[in-house]
Homo-oligomer: A and B are copies of this chain.
């Protein structure tokens, strides 16, 4: 039981994968948290742009929401089909790759990765922001709380997808449940009051009218409200996480998520209209969130109010988890096509893609710390990524239908084409409306990511070409044995062990002592007595003994230089450098000895060539208990 077992759990066998997979009910919290939580901020994002229209603006929320929900349903059908068509997961990236080609797929990949990094940071900081505005004494600790939540989410995800599912179930269902009760209560009151319910808690005064309605304003309202759609693609990226039948289970999860989201959006919009709740300006004193006003209007500020608000805060800060569920899976799909380091495709001890989780955690942490836990300014950035991916995925599906030409293919293609056009327009509107606010950063970052993908792939390609071996091995029963070089600092068991190993490899041995100090005299004597004599006694030529001067007191540099020159002088010979290594019992004991052996090996590897090999010849202190008493006197002399 080591510390890793305790933290992330014991390793899971690859063959036990089935037990780790999830059903449709667990899929909702894992892949749906981001989407569902957007019900908490989507309508508000739309309404806050309607403030300048005064109370009249509130009337526009119903048609705008209807348009958004229609788009949601188009996107839903699109991703439902994507899941069936590409059960391997990867969502928009896979669709674009198979139907639109390499570059559009990289565009989708870059857009989605950007989206996930931002979602994780914005989700956590939105939840914590709401928390600290409720409990102002926590304000100075914003960053610490953010990072704490990030660490918790990271560890839960490292523990495996199933555990994440069980842990996030309670807050998700609490959130959905309390909001549904609020909507139900509101509808009943509306019905009982004949369409004009009186709010139980006083509403803030309606805003003053400062502007008339324009088409551009309505477009901006629509595209802002569309942030409610982000997170919808999540399920399609992670089909493989579902247990068999994977496609059916993933589709069921998606259906429930979209249905709940649509109900929440519709209900909230309708009640906002009948109660006449206008958004308040977040920058001004007296700001209240839309849901806070709505819940208070329906049920008053009682226990239920606080329970609902608490569940909203919790779900907001946990919505980052969807990014943690998808980012690593998407990275894995990209890495399998050699566009990202292969490490992203390795599954860790709990069958999750450890590297992806850790990379996302680090990037999110950097964002949170750099922005001091207040990431409002990042919000305009991330809708661009999500909608770019939606658009590419939908047009990819159009091509898919056209290629397949199944029954009703034209109808399916039309639906996806319409969806793609609308989400494409949304991307443009968001880009234009939010360009100054930071959307340009996304425009800069996505191409950089694509360039990175290309560099990684061409590197892997070059290495594959360079290492590809369609030639047989040459068994070495001819040619001369290698030249062996043994660096020696003083005569000891460590150097003895290395020299004995060297003598097995070749008869041509060169022992080298680099001389910045004053040992050489003593070493010469030892060498004569302990090496030359026994070699001669055994009838063998003793190894060469070479002292390299080191006027600058460097040890590694002259050694490496010597070996490189030797290899140049003998272009047909292999050179083996046998490095004596003292192995200690405890890791901290390494600080007491120099790490020249490791450094020498590394330098030879990097600066050397293919005919230079290094051998670590270990001497274990613990295996060799003291056999003779060395007095302090001897130690002082050697010191």
Q: Which residues of chain A have a CB within 8 Å of any CB of chain B?
A: 11-15, 336-338, 341-343, 346-349, 456, 459-477, 481-482, 491-497, 499-501, 503-505, 516, 529-531, 533-535, 538, 540, 551-554, 574, 576, 581-583, 589, 591-594, 601, 605-606, 608-610, 612-621, 623-630, 632, 634-636, 638-639
CB pair B621–A610 under 8 Å, yes or no, is no
CB pair B613–A608 under 8 Å, yes or no, is no
Chain B residues with CB below 8 A from A11, complex form: 552, 554
CB pair A465–B620 under 8 Å, yes or no, is no
CB pair B617–A613 under 8 Å, yes or no, is yes
CB pair A338–B639 under 8 Å, yes or no, is yes
Chain B residues with CB below 8 A from A632, complex form: 461
CB distance from A611 to the nearest CB of B (A): 9
What is the copy number of this chain in the assembly? 2
> What 8 pairs across the A-B complex have the smallest Cβ distances?
A465-B626, A472-B534, A467-B492, A11-B552, A13-B551, A467-B493, A476-B504, A475-B538
Cβ-closest chain B residue relative to A459 = B592
CB<8 Å pairs between A and B, sample of 14: A13-B552, A14-B553, A342-B594, A456-B592, A459-B589, A462-B626, A464-B634, A467-B619, A469-B491, A469-B492, A469-B496, A472-B530, A481-B504, A583-B606
CB pair A473–B531 under 8 Å, yes or no, is yes
Cα separation A623 to B338 with both chains bound (whole Å): 23
Which listed residue (B500, B582, B616) contacts A601, Cβ 8 A?
B616
CB distance from A283 to the nearest CB of B (A): 27
Which listed residue (B348, B469, B482, B491) contacts A504, Cβ 8 A?
B482
CB pair B638–A582 under 8 Å, yes or no, is no
Which listed residue (B456, B593, B615) contacts A613, Cβ 8 A?
B615
Cα separation A499 to B531 with both chains bound (whole Å): 32
Chain B residues with CB below 8 A from A503, complex form: 473, 475-477
Cα separation A612 to B620 with both chains bound (whole Å): 11
Cα separation A201 to B4 with both chains bound (whole Å): 69
CB pair A618–B629 under 8 Å, yes or no, is no
Question: Given contacts A531-B472, A534-B475, is CB(A591)–CB(B341) below 8 Å?
Answer: yes
CB distance from A159 to the nearest CB of B (A): 15
CB pair B621–A609 under 8 Å, yes or no, is no
CB pair A535–B473 under 8 Å, yes or no, is yes
Chain B residues with CB below 8 A from A468, complex form: 492-493, 628, 630
Chain B residues with CB below 8 A from A627, complex form: 465
Which listed residue (B460, B475, B499, B504) contacts A540, Cβ 8 A?
B475
CB pair A501–B613 under 8 Å, yes or no, is yes
Cα separation A636 to B457 with both chains bound (whole Å): 11
Cβ-closest chain B residue relative to A480 = B504
Cβ-closest chain B residue relative to A348 = B553
CB distance from A389 to the nearest CB of B (A): 23
Cα separation A83 to B456 with both chains bound (whole Å): 63
Task: Beyond the given A13-B551, A469-B496, A605-B618, please list 11 additional residue pairs across the A-B interface where CB-CB is below 8 A.
Answer: A466-B626, A469-B493, A471-B530, A472-B534, A473-B500, A473-B503, A473-B531, A475-B500, A497-B610, A504-B574, A583-B606
